[in-house]
């Protein structure tokens, strides 16, 4: 048996890694390829994986769920929740409640399920999850407020769905399920899980902070301690408070994620890799056990549930959660479309189905044939419904998210920086800090690796090639920056951006001052390294205060231009706007039509005016939001 199991596990992990690579290549969620691989290996495909392949599958899935939940919870920062927009908070509260009740009603009346199973499916399908949301956001670079809402919803609802589903499952197993029993079990499981998770997290924190983990291998040992802590929290929760393990793992993740622990970056990367392997293995294994008969048995009712979940309930909960907020109509439609379900519903549903089948076998052995048949039917309905929704939402919403985003025009204009050297990366850092959607184009392997390690989106290719520029998104770019150390390359990039793609703004770096004239003839903004250095030195001599303050731009101080649109400032004078600006922030320049000037106090701001703001970094950013009507 072991001789067959080892190559099977190795093959599944290899397919999982391949699925991740294909997902990155084709810019779709990896779960699409994981599902395909699982079905291909299962009874509906090659028949390599069957229900007898993994005798310990429930234990494997349980531990995998613990790792995945811990990973998501570790990234749930309390500070981020405090800063979360009202839309994000309503999505994880009002939105989650609407998803629970709406899905339960759909399952109840479309499939004829009893209320217990209906609410169990509803609880599971609350989860969207970072495992399916993050890949979409990687290929659909939406505005910060939209990304924050989807990410917060994915992380929080993954944990919420897992805990809520466990409690609902325990309640429907009771002989007399009541609201009181539900609340008692919820408090018991949640409370027990919180206590255990917090205790384990405190122990792990103490070990990391105060025990010498060997200077040579401290980062590695820290990663292993955290991984062990996640598994211990889950295992202890399962032993001491039956099925409180999910809550314990989630609590441990949240607590550790919000404590000051050493080697946090290395720990986060390690957990991400472990989660990737675990997710790949479990999802392929679960998909392989999926039988087509379970999906077909749902019939028209199953299709009705999918339509209700994806095209009625999801848009409704997003509309109610974002009404009165800062989302545009297009952004609300996009978020209403994007709600694919992922690994948590699949894993937990499979665990419950296995337990229901075990109880059914016990009932059949005791001669309770009617009860056994009902339990088997519930298990089939549970797995079939959850996987059908996962399949449909992942394929439709994951596969078409990019096209929908482009149709709705929710992707902000890109800034292309050609050249991933020191200058290019510094420009990209400053642009990203102000919320721009930056893509670096680079073809040097070392420069690509360095830029990616610093967190930049890098498109590999020659920036002087039309195909490279087009594939990097130049047709949706507001600005192109040619920042290489080669003036010939910069000049050619500028020429293509101006003549071929008609980019709104093109900025080129001139390394040799003698080439500035050639750039000027092209009609692009030119920054001469020689002249810029000379100007900086002149400022340090003649204008030391300005030079000193300019050095803090991007950190303590800032200077930004912003277009006044849909703002309460339209129609107000500069003297009226001044007191409304946050902190130490001033309007120093106004650009109206083709004229730029220092405004007088009685100048009235008009729609479309571009104003230059100077002041403290955070105050300037807040003022920009006010000027844009955010």
* pLDDT 10s digits, 40-69: 887 777 777 776 666 667 777 778 878 888
Q: What is the DSSP code (8-state) at residue 475?
A: G
Query: What does the block give as tokens for 269?
Result: 């990367």
pLDDT, residue 178, reads 67
Cα separation, 229 vs 267, whole angstroms: 12
pLDDT of residue 276 exceeding 90, the answer is no
Q: Which domains does the chain have, with CATH numbers?
A: 54-276+299-408 (1.20.1530), 414-544 (3.40.50.720), 556-627 (3.30.70.1450)
Helix/strand/coil (H/E/C) assignment for every residue in 182-211: HHHHHHHHHHHHHHHHHHHHHHHHHHHHHC
E strands, 468-609, in order? 477-482, 505-510, 525-528, 557-563, 585-592, 595-597
* pLDDT 10s digits, 423-474: 999 999 888 877 677 889 999 989 988 988 887 888 889 999 999 998 888 8
Mean pLDDT of 405-413: 81
pLDDT, residue 241, reads 66
pLDDT of residue 83 exceeding 60, the answer is no
pLDDT of residue 365 exceeding 80, the answer is yes
pLDDT of residue 604 exceeding 70, the answer is yes
- Estimate the crossing angle of helix 30-41 against helix 264-289, to 10 degrees: 40
- Residue 481 has φ and ψ, to the nearest 5°, of -115, 115
Place of tokens 């048949």: 373
Q: Which of 313, 310, 306, 314 is nearest to 387 (CA)?
A: 306
pLDDT, residue 296, reads 83
Percent of the chain with pLDDT over 90: 25
Cα separation, 201 vs 268, whole angstroms: 15
How would residue 201 be classed by pLDDT, with cut points 50, 70 and 90? Answer: very high
* pLDDT 10s digits, 546-603: 777 676 666 678 888 888 887 888 889 999 988 888 878 899 899 988 889 999 989 9
pLDDT of residue 2 exceeding 60, the answer is no
DSSP labels for 45-67? TT--S-TTS-TTHHHHHHHHHHH
pLDDT, residue 1, reads 46
pLDDT, residue 129, reads 75
Which residues does 172 contact at the CB level (< 8 Å), separation at least 6?
116, 117, 119, 120
Mean pLDDT of 357-375: 85
Mean pLDDT of 504-520: 90
pLDDT of residue 486 exceeding 90, the answer is yes
DSSP labels for 574-624? HHHHGGGS-SSEEEEEEEETTEEEPPPTTPBP-TT-EEEEEEEHHHHHHHH
Mean pLDDT comparison of 160-169, 301-310, 606-615, highest-scoring range: 301-310
Q: Calculate the average pLDDT of the chain.
A: 84
How would residue 175 be classed by pLDDT, with cut points 50, 70 and 90? Answer: low
pLDDT of residue 330 exceeding 60, the answer is yes
Mean pLDDT of 381-392: 90
Cβ 18 vs Cβ 33: under 8 Å: yes
pLDDT, residue 84, reads 60
Cβ 280 vs Cβ 34: under 8 Å: yes
* pLDDT 10s digits, 84-121: 667 888 998 999 999 999 999 999 999 999 998 999 99
Q: Which of 133, 157, 150 is nearest to 398 (CA)?
A: 133
pLDDT of residue 483 exceeding 80, the answer is yes
Mean pLDDT of 199-223: 83
pLDDT, residue 471, reads 82
CA-based max dimension of the chain: 97
pLDDT, residue 418, reads 96
Q: Which of 74, 87, 61, 448 is nearest to 256 (CA)?
A: 74
Sign, Cα dihedral of 618, 621, 627, 630: negative
């Amino acid at each position: 048996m072991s001789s067959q199991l080892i190559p099977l596990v190795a093959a599944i992990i290899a397919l999982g890694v391949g699925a991740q690579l294909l997902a990155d290549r084709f810019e779709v969620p990896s779960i699409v390829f994981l599902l395909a691989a699982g079905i291909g290996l299962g009874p509906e495909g090659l028949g390599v994986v069957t229900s007898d392949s993994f005798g310990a599958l429930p234990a494997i899935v349980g531990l995998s769920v613990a790792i995945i939940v811990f990973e998501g919870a570790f990234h749930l920062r309390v500070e981020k929740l405090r800063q979360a927009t009202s839309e994000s908070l309503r999505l994880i509260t009002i939105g989650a409640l609407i998803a629970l009740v709406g899905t339960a009603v759909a399952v109840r009346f479309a499939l004829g399920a009893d209320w217990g199973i209906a609410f169990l499916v509803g609880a599971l399908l609350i989860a969207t999850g970072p495992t399916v949301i993050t890949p979409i956001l990687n290929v659909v670079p939406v505005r910060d407020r939209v990304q924050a809402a989807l990410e917060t919803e994915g992380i929080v609802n993954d944990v919420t769905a897992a805990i809520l589903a466990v409690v609902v499952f325990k309640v429907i197993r009771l002989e007399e399920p009541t609201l009181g029993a539900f609340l008692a079990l919820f408090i018991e499981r949640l409370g027990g899980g919180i206590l255990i998770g917090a205790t384990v997290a405190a122990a792990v924190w103490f070990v990391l902070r105060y025990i010498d983990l060997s200077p040579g291998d401290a980062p590695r040992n820290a990663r292993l301690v955290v991984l062990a802590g996640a598994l211990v929290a889950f295992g202890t929760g399962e032993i001491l408070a039956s099925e409180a393990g999910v809550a314990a793992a989630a609590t441990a993740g949240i607590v550790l994620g919000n404590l000051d622990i050493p080697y946090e970056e290395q720990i986060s990367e390690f957990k991400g890799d472990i989660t990737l392997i675990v997710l790949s293995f479990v999802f392929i294994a679960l998909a392989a056990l999926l039988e087509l008969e379970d999906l077909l048995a749902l019939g028209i009712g199953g299709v009705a549930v999918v339509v209700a979940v994806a095209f009625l309930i999801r848009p409704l909960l997003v509309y109610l959660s974002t009404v009165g907020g800062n989302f545009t109509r297009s952004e609300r439609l996009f978020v209403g479309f994007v709600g694919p379900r992922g690994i948590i519903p699949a894993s937990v549903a499979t665990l419950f189905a296995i337990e229901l089948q075990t109880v059914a076998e016990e009932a059949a052995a005791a001669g309770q044939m009617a009860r056994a048949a009902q339990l088997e039917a519930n298990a089939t309905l549970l797995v079939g419904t959850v996987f059908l929704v996962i399949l449909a939402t992942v394929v439709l919403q994951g596969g078409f998210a990019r096209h929908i985003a482009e149709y709705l025009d929710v992707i902000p204009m890109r800034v292309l920086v050609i050249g991933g050297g020191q200058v290019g990366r510094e420009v990209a850092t400053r642009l990203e800090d102000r919320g721009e959607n930056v893509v670096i184009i680079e073809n040097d392997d070392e420069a690509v690796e360095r830029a990616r390690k610093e967190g930049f989106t890098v498109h590999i290719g020659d920036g002087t090639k039309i195909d490279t520029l087009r594939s990097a998104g130049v047709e949706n770019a507001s600005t192109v920056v040619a920042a290489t150390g080669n003036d010939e390359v910069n000049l050619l990039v500028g020429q293509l951006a101006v003549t071929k793609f008609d980019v709104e703004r093109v900025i080129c770096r001139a390394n040799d001052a003698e080439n500035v004239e050639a750039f000027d003839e092209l009609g692009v903004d030119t920054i001469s390294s020689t002249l810029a250095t000379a100007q900086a030195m002149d400022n340090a001599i003649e204008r030391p205060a300005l030079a000193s303050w300019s050095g803090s731009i991007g950190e303590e101080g800032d200077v930004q231009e912003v277009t006044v649109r849909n703002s309460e400032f339209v129609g107000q004078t500069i003297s009226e706007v001044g007191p409304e600006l946050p902190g130490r922030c001033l309007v120093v320049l106004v650009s109206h039509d083709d004229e730029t000037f220092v405004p007088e106090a009685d100048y009235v701001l008009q729609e479309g005016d571009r104003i230059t703001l100077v002041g403290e970094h955070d105050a300037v950013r807040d003022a920009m939001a006010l000027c844009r009507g955010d």
